[in-house]
Structure 1
Amino acid sequence: MLSYLNHVFIEQFDLWIVLGFIAQAMFTARFLIQWIASERARRSVMPVAFWTFSLLGGSLLLVYALHRRDPVFIIGQAAGLFIYARNVMLIVGEKKRTLAETESMEIPHS
């Protein structure tokens, strides 16, 4: 067991492993962000930062999975990216519609 752990955590350690840990930390941070936002609101909410961290962390994890040539990890991360990107697109679209509605409701100055 010690030989296995030495190989996994010491011998194969390189910049790709560092990237993998950074990506995983980003991906995990999204849950902390969502939890904190929900606690503050005293209801379940999904802040924009959740989707931003999902997209960034998922993209970096996909790069890492491609480097590792892990088909399970590649498919899992690639599929998630579509969902994260779509949610970001929906948020941007909603903000544009809200802005357009606000501008159309402004009272003209005389």
Structure 2
Amino acid sequence: MDLLALFHVESGTELAWVLVGFLAQVLFGGRFVLQWWRSEKAGESVVPVGFWWLSITGGALMLAYALYRMDPVFVLGQGLGLVVYLRNLALIRKAARRRA
């Protein structure tokens, strides 16, 4: 099986970027699985800190992929999302310091 043909790419570099894109999607999608699992465990809706870390990691990889693809719509969406994810982690850290 020819991976280049399977993923409609013409070089190993392009294939590597497609694999980065898939990894980003897995990480980004994994945040929902984590949130669902933790909510089921708690018996109520919760958003664990890991949700935000998966959001940042997956979002940053997707932003890198979007920049490589030169897709301005995708770049804007992922770039703005990263600001939100980082701000949520800052707020969580601030709240933890207040409690300590």
With normalisation by structure 2, the TM-score equals 0.87
Partner of 2:95: 94
Gapped regions of structure 1 (runs ≥ 5): 1-5, 100-110
Distance 1:37 1:63 in 2: 29
Distance 1:88 1:44 in 2: 18
Partner of 1:67: 68
Q: Give me the CA root mean square deviation.
A: 1.4
Question: 1:96 Cα deviation (Å)?
Answer: 1.0
Query: Which has more radius of gyration?
Result: 1
Distance 2:88 2:7 in 1: 38
AA aligned to 2:71 is: D
Aligned length: 93
What are the Cα deviations for residues 30-66 of structure 1, in whole angstroms up to 9, with x where unaligned?
0000000000011000000001100111011000000
- Secondary structure of the 2:86 match is helix
**Conserved in 1, the CA contact under 8 Å of 2:59 and 2:81?**
yes
Q: What percentage of aligned pairs have identical amino acids?
A: 45
Partner of 1:11: 8
Distance 1:22 1:39 in 2: 26
AA aligned to 1:10 is: F
Runs of 4+ deviating beyond 4 Å: none
With normalisation by structure 1, the TM-score equals 0.80
